[in-house]
Every structure is written in structure tokens, then in C-alpha cells.
């Protein structure tokens, strides 16, 4: 979370979006770290979207944020019609089949204003036991889920039209990384 807070402090976004916002905790943290920003959470699961709305209300942030129960790959309507300065995609990409990831990343990039950035958090395929075990658990599920390695992730981001920076591990040697990828001006 330190990487995200630092990014928010450096970029000072006016509009942020959390794609796959789940319970809304990360969107709330983004809004707390960027007190001048407005936010939108996008969540495909209506029950999780309702929980995110409650989370924002409980933290006194409901006036600065809106939760949309939708798939980000759908039409850009309502609060998704205006561009964002920063998008968060945290612990979501590995649930999307490998063949569909570039398309998803393109859809997220389309939400960004020119010069806007995608802050991606994910576990990557690596030699560590946690990474291997997590990949095995994903592959055992229905839906073609799997981890990609860091190089593949960077290629997918570039193929989506973004300019990714090198991945940064959340902790030294950890297979969980953050990647900041900017939409060209």
C-alpha cells in the first residue's frame, strides 16, 4: 500500500477509479491519501458493490465516491464517462483468462485521461513457494485462471497501449508486485 500512497501523493489525481473494488477498502484508502480526489469503484459482483458502498459511507467518503455495479468492459456511462487520472487494478488480472488480459487492460486504459496511469497490483509467477502454490490453486479453479510472469505482464501492458515501468516487489523478493503504467499523452 506504500507504493500506492506514494503514487497518489506524487501524481495528485483529481479522479481515481478502482476496477474490481471488492469491499471498497482500497478505494477508501486512495481517497484518504488524496483528499482532493473523487473516486469511482467498479465491481461486477452486486453484493460486493453494496459492501463497498457501506465501507465508503462508514468512513465518511460517500460524498466523494460512487460505486458502479458493472463490468468495466461495458459501455462508459454515468461516472465512467469522464476520464480518470489514476486507475487501480489490484489482485484482479489473474482471474481473467490469459487470452483476454490485453483486452481488459485496453478497456482500463480507455478510462484514463492522456498522461493518466494504471497502478496494477498482482502476484506474478515466480520460483517462490507462495507463487507456485497460488498459481496451482488458480489453475485448479474453473475459468482458465493463472499467474503470468513479470515479463509477460509488461508485454500485456505495452500491447494494451500503456507505457509500464519495471515491476516493484511489495517486499524484497516477494512475488507480489506493483506496476505503474502510463497512458501516452
* C-alpha separations of 6 from 13, 47, 185 in Å: 12, 31, 22
Q: The domain containing residue 47 runs over which residues?
A: 2-182
Helices and strands: H and E segment counts in the chain: 6, 8
Burial of 152 (0-12, 13-18, 19+ CB in 10 A): middle
The whole-model pTM stands at 0.94
Percent of the chain's residues with pLDDT above 90 = 86
Rounded average pLDDT over 10-29: 96
Q: Is the pLDDT of residue 34 over 90?
A: yes
Task: List, for residues 111-152, the tens digit of each pLDDT value.
Answer: 999 999 999 999 999 999 989 999 899 999 888 999 999 999
Task: List, for residues 161-181, the tens digit of each pLDDT value.
Answer: 999 999 999 888 889 999 999
Q: What was the pLDDT predicted at 74?
A: 80
Q: How many structural domains is the chain composed of?
A: 1
Rounded average pLDDT over 96-118: 97
- Which CATH number does the domain housing residue 168 bear? 3.40.50.150
- Residue reference for cell 502476484: 123
Helix ranges, the chain (H): 2-11, 25-33, 46-58, 101-110, 129-139, 150-159
Size (the chain), residues = 185
* C-alpha separations of 37 from 59, 85, 141, 154 in Å: 15, 10, 37, 28
Amino acid at each position: 500500500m506504500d507504493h500506492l500512497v506514494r503514487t497518489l501523493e506524487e501524481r495528485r489525481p483529481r479522479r481515481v477509479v478502482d476496477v474490481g473494488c471488492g469491499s471498497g477498502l482500497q478505494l477508501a484508502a486512495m481517497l484518504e491519501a488524496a483528499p482532493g480526489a473523487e473516486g469511482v469503484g467498479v465491481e461486477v459482483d452486486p453484493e460486493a458493490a453494496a459492501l463497498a458502498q457501506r465501507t465508503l459511507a462508514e468512513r465518511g467518503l460517500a460524498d466523494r465516491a460512487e460505486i458502479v455495479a458493472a463490468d468495466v468492459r461495458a459501455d462508459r456511462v454515468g461516472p465512467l464517462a469522464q476520464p480518470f487520472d489514476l486507475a487501480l487494478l489490484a489482485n484482479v488480472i489473474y482471474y481473467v483468462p490469459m487470452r483476454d488480459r490485453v483486452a481488459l487492460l485496453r478497456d482500463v486504459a480507455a478510462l484514463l485521461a492522456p498522461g493518466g496511469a494504471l497502478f496494477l497490483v498482482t502476484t506474478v509467477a515466480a520460483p517462490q513457494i507462495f507463487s507456485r502454490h497460488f498459481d496451482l490453486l488458480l489453475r485448479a479453479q474453473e475459468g482458465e485462471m493463472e499467474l503470468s510472469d513479470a515479463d509477460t505482464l509488461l508485454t500485456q501492458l505495452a500491447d494494451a497501449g500503456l507505457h509500464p515501468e519495471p515491476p516493484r516487489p511489495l517486499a524484497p523478493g516477494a512475488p507480489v508486485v506493483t506496476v505503474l503504467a502510463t497512458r501516452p499523452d
